[in-house]
Structure 1
Amino acid sequence: MDIISILNIISAQECFSNQSFNDNWPRYKAFINNYLGEYPSSKKVQNLGMELSSIFTKNDTERGQSEVSVTGNVWSKFINWYLNICLLGTNSWAVSSSQLLPPQVVRALEIRINGEKVSRSKEIVVVQYTGAENVDVVLPNDLSGVNLKKTYREAYKNFFKKIDLQEVRVILLSPKTIASDMLAIPLFWNFCYKGNKLNTVFDIEIGNHKENPEIFKDNKVYYSVVTVPTGREDKIKAGTIPGKAQINKLQLLDGGFYWGRKPSDKVKSFDNFFLDNLDLNGFVGKEVSENYEFTNYSRSVYYKLFNPQN
C-alpha cells in the first residue's frame, strides 16, 4: 500500500477521536452499511456523498438550525471521513490536522494581516500530489491494535520532505451546518488564496516568498463549501437562503459550493467534488469497493476505516 493511502486511513481514523462523532458513529454506520449493501460499486461509494446530509440528520428532524450548528465539528469529521474513503488509492488525501500535512504546505497557507498571523476557520485541507515520490510501505498481515500514525510517522514525514509545492494542488473545504454562516468568510478566504498581490493594497500576506499559493500547481488555492443544511432545503433549492445574490456568489467559489444531498439547479451534490477539483474519474471509491468485505475483518487495514481504534 502506498504512503498516501496510509494517510487516508490515518485521517479517517482520527475522525473517531472526536467524542461526539464517535458517539453518533453506530447510527451513521448502520445507515451507511444499509445504503452500500454487501458489494458496493465504486460509484455507489462515491454516491454516498448525496446521502451524507440525510444520514447526519436522520432520526433528528426536530432539531433546529441553531442546534445543528453546535454539531458543526461532527459534520466536519463526517465529511473528512467520507473524503478519505473515496480518495483511498488515489494521489490525494484530506486532513483536519496539520500534523498530516507537509510543513511546507502549512507554511504556504499561513495568513498575516497587518503583520499579525491570523487563524482561518477550521477547514479540511485536501491535498493532491502529482509527483513521483508516493512510495509503497509494507503492511503486516495482522493490523489489529496497530496504530498506523505511530508506526508510519517516519515514512510519511520522509515523504513530506520530498514534496515539491509545484506538484501539489490544495483545496480548502469549509463544512457548514447553517445557511447564515456560508457567505462572508468563505468568500474572503477564497479572495485571499487566489494568488492576488494583496500585500501591496490590503497588507495581507499569504505564506512567504518561497512558499505561497502561487507556487502550487494551479498558482492558487481552491476554496470550497459543503453544507448540510437542515430545515431549509427547499429555500436553498430555490436560491432564497441565504439569499439569491449570496447563492450566486457562493457558486463563484473556486472550489465550488456543495451539499450532502441530491443536486439541484442551485447546489451541486458533494459527490461532484472529486471530478470538479481533482480531475479524478473512475478511481474514486474504487479501493473501498474492491475491498469492502474486509471492512469487517479486524486484522485488515480496511477495518480501520469503519471502526474506532481499539
Structure 2
Amino acid sequence: MTAENHRALAMDAIKGIKTWQDCWPVWEIELSKLSGNFSDAKKVHELGNHLREVFFATNTGGRDQGSLSGGGAGWESLVTWYLNLVFSGTNAVAMRQSQAVVPRTLLDATTIRYGNHQTNTESDVCVIVYPDDFDFPDPGKSFMSELDKEVAKRIGDIELGIIQCKTNWNDNAQVPMLWDMVYRASFGPGTNIHIGMNGYSVKHLRRFSYSFVTVPSQKEGRMPNSSTQMAVKRVANLTGGNYWGMATKSGVALSLAEIFDSNFSNAFKVNVRASIQNAIAGKLGLFSA
C-alpha cells in the first residue's frame, strides 16, 4: 500500500468544506491555465508562485481580508491542495488539522500542557513524511486507527511539518513566532510547561519544522517588502521558514514552491520536478483525478 489512501482522505475532508465547494470551480480554471492543464511539471511546481492571484480570483471586492470570498479556510485548503499535488506519488501527505485525518499520535506529540491545561498549536496544515518502508494499512473504516498504530511504532522515522496559514501577514506574524519558540524550547520542571502527551513528543520525531504561509491579503503597497519590517523579522527565523503565494522576494519571503526542498526533501526520490513529471506520467495522486 502507499500514502495515496491517506492523501485521498485528506482531500475528501477538504472537499466537504463549503468554502472549497464555492471557490474550487473558479480556482481550478485558473490553476489549469497556469499549469498547462496540469501536464507541465515545471509549471505545476511554479503554481506556488501564483497562489495569491489564484486565491484572488474569487474576490468579491477590494483586496482586503473582509472582501475575500475564500477567507482563511479557503487559503488553508488551497495550500493543502497544492502541497498534495506536488507530493503526488511520494510518501508525504498534507492535511488540514483534524482528528479525522491526522494520526492521534502526532496530535499528542504536538500538544502543549501548561499546568493542567492542554492546547495544540494553531496548526492549520500539517505535512507528514513517512519512511520508504512504512507499512500502510488497507483502506477501510479502520484505516486511521491502524495507521495511527503504525505511526506510534515508527515515530522516530517520521518527519512532521506544521504550517500555519494566514491570509493577512501583518496581523498574525507574532503567533507563529511564539509557537515556534515554544516548540524549540526545553522547559525545566519549574516552568510547569510540557510538550507532548501520552508518551509522545516532537522530540521523538526524525524531524520537526514549523512554518508560516501567507497570501498575503494586503494591497501591494501595504504588504511587507523589507527585511527590516517587524512583520518580516518575526517570522525570519522559523524552523520551517516563511512563505507566501508569490514569487520569492529575497529577505522578505520565499515562494511556497520552495517549501519542498527546504523542509520535505526526503519525500522525493528524485528532484521535485522530476517527481511531478513521474506522477503526471503515471497518473498518481491528484493527477489521477
When the two structures are superposed, what TM-score results if normalisation uses the length of structure 1?
A: 0.80
**Separation in 1, partners of 2:147, 2:119:** 28
**Separation in 2, partners of 1:253, 1:77:** 22
Task: State the partner residue of 1:114.
Answer: 115
1:252-271 paired onto structure 2 within 5 Å? 252-265=237-250, 266-271=252-257
Task: State the partner residue of 2:260.
Answer: 274
Q: Does 2:228 match 1:249?
A: no
State the Cα distance separating 1:87 from its structure 2 match.
0.9
Cα 1:104–1:277 change in 2 (3 A) is same
Contact 1:68 1:178 in 2 (8 A): no
Q: Does 2:216 match 1:229?
A: yes
**Paired letter, 1:94:** A
Determine helix, strand or coil for the equivalent of 1:162.
helix
State the Cα distance separating 1:99 from its structure 2 match.
2.1
State the Cα distance separating 1:14 from its structure 2 match.
1.9
Contact 1:95 1:125 in 2 (8 A): yes
Cα 1:63–1:198 change in 2 (3 A) is same
**Separation in 2, partners of 1:200, 1:293:** 48
Task: State the partner residue of 1:95.
Answer: 95
Provide the aligned length of Structure 1 versus Structure 2.
279
Contact 1:177 1:230 in 2 (8 A): yes
Determine helix, strand or coil for the equivalent of 1:29.
helix
Please, which of 279, 282, 285 is the counterpart of residue 276 of structure 2? Answer: 285
Determine helix, strand or coil for the equivalent of 1:98.
coil
Task: State the partner residue of 2:150.
Answer: 162
Q: Does 2:158 match 1:171?
A: no
Higher relative contact order structure (alpha carbons within 8 Å, sequence separation ≥ 6): 1
Contact 2:7 2:285 in 1 (8 A): no
Cα 1:120–1:45 change in 2 (3 A) is same
Comparing 53-62 and 72-81, the one that deviates more: 53-62
When the two structures are superposed, what TM-score results if normalisation uses the length of structure 2?
A: 0.86
Q: Does 2:189 match 1:203?
A: no
Contact 2:80 2:125 in 1 (8 A): yes
**Separation in 2, partners of 1:39, 1:212:** 38
Q: CA RMSD in A?
A: 2.7
Post-superposition Cα deviations, 1:183-209, rounded to whole Å, max 9, x if no partner, equal 221011101212x32253532211137
Task: State the partner residue of 1:64.
Answer: 64
Post-superposition Cα deviations, 1:155-174, rounded to whole Å, max 9, x if no partner, equal 45423312311011111101
Cα 1:25–1:38 change in 2 (3 A) is closer
Q: Does 2:172 match 1:185?
A: no
For structure 2, the residue ranges without an aligned partner over 5 or more in a row are: none
Contact 1:8 1:87 in 2 (8 A): no
State the Cα distance separating 1:59 from its structure 2 match.
5.8
Instruction: Give the fraction of aligned pairs with identical amino acids, expressed as a percent.
Output: 21
Contact 1:292 1:302 in 2 (8 A): yes
State the Cα distance separating 1:46 from its structure 2 match.
1.6
Cα 1:67–1:122 change in 2 (3 A) is farther
Contact 1:64 1:231 in 2 (8 A): yes
Cα 1:38–1:136 change in 2 (3 A) is farther
Task: State the partner residue of 1:214.
Answer: 203
Task: State the partner residue of 2:85.
Answer: 85
Contact 1:88 1:287 in 2 (8 A): no
Task: State the partner residue of 2:8.
Answer: 9
